[in-house]
Structure 1
């Protein structure tokens, strides 16, 4: 019997590893009045290759529903919680004892995000309180003997970058240097990630006129764009945006801080005056992105490994204000049917839903609840060939 178990165990492990993919996550926003029960969502997620879920808050019903599924859970402290978390260590302990301790480890909480896009919020008080809040949450996790198991970080808009074109020239805005030095020192010391929200969709929306912009954003065949500093040819906007963040981190001396893509996506419909939203484009972007991640090609500056990427979003959020596209980023309907097939079902893991064009690197011998970001960084990575 023991011999049989020894033989079978590797097959069980292979099966479990194939069930979901840890680098594919999804955002589970709740600015809606038509969402299914958390239990139904948990079953839906288990039928997909999605390995992680990001919540913008700490809804206990959702956290409980995900218990014993193995799905990694990111929970969030709201921007409004930052002053209390920063000023009062006991508030942070209460927060952790309320929102983490009762559920872990059955609910696989892997990361706490303290605030969303705080640095670019233009709220100086909040910006200055962010790192103390993060440190107090870390201390509270340490006190609960969870410090080595659950990471703490925050999430950034691409607008933290002053320069992103070409990717090798990626740099943060100098006015953010002080707070970023402190935050990145914390990330480096604790092994927590630098989480960023890159959206090729917003880059395309700002400049839809160029003929190959859409193909470059959608991972479709295109001529590619050369980074003149490195001679690397980029074949898609996602890699270019993530590598610009990598370059910015490296320029500050934080080459070991890992990047997590906390949000990225494409709307499947929008207002008549919005450039880019369509079912075809959304399917192409998300489907090609998933295939790109599964290829494990990585980015030119981070080859051979896929960055953990959280798709936006699991469902539409019908109560969001703004343009119609804001309410049309969902992958699934409230009845759990697919809005379109992005290749997320388990049986699709072994085949890419759509072709992926891999990035190319040069012959060196010859030479990265608040809604998605709606502002577009000054540098859009629409660099020339």
Structure 2
């Protein structure tokens, strides 16, 4: 098959029943059905980050979306880390530190347990989306076999060429190449090396395209038609955008967060463990700067840190206070438009095609 960009994208769209090769990034906590519905109505692919969702919530999300549009969507789940090492004295340091940033942190806050991974996997199989994607590692072989038996495609999110090769060997149907520009959590398989393997999309994407035989989706720092066209020139079969859709009204983002993204230059975002214990890219706000200071404790491991900061994060959203919010944002956030998502998808693809060779 020709490697002309349009041929790759056409083949991808045909395979996944899409009209445009633009995918919504599955963002845990920022995946309202309304955003996927709008993108799917423009013939893109919807998505939901199910990390924080119980099985019944996963079923409810899918039912809400399917009640409005029959298009394809992607359900995403993190591969669990090993159980964290707990340190009571260190957790107390964080409770003391957080006292000036929000409500008092309950003594048992860090005991909170995430939803059960196996139950979430079973719920995703029950829903039978077009795509199930992984991040932070690879699904167990038995679950990969179950996906294939159900004719569900596996999209594996990776951040290095080595991870891409491992995902292909494990049976991934599509590789999602995530550049360091991406907002939110880094998709690194090994949390300990996340800060040592900071590869930008322009370097990562062609290297992965050259290394694997399956289609590659580009994500991270793509915010407008120029980024979309560039991704196709570098060998992508489709693009995935998160921050680029977060200012759309259907995303229901807190106003202060959405407004701050519009003013955010690439250098105004920062990689931090201060919210969850896992490395993620957020706006550089007052809390992050304080948490990175010499006087702050080192971040606790994931998900302990996430549980400790939950009260502050919830309070910040209620107060519309972006200086304390877990305000994930990619380096191309300023390109995000406060436009209806369906119209934005159509406009992005129209403009990107005009920039691509015919």
TM class by shorter chain equals: 0.3 to 0.5
Give the TM-score, by structure 1 length.
0.43
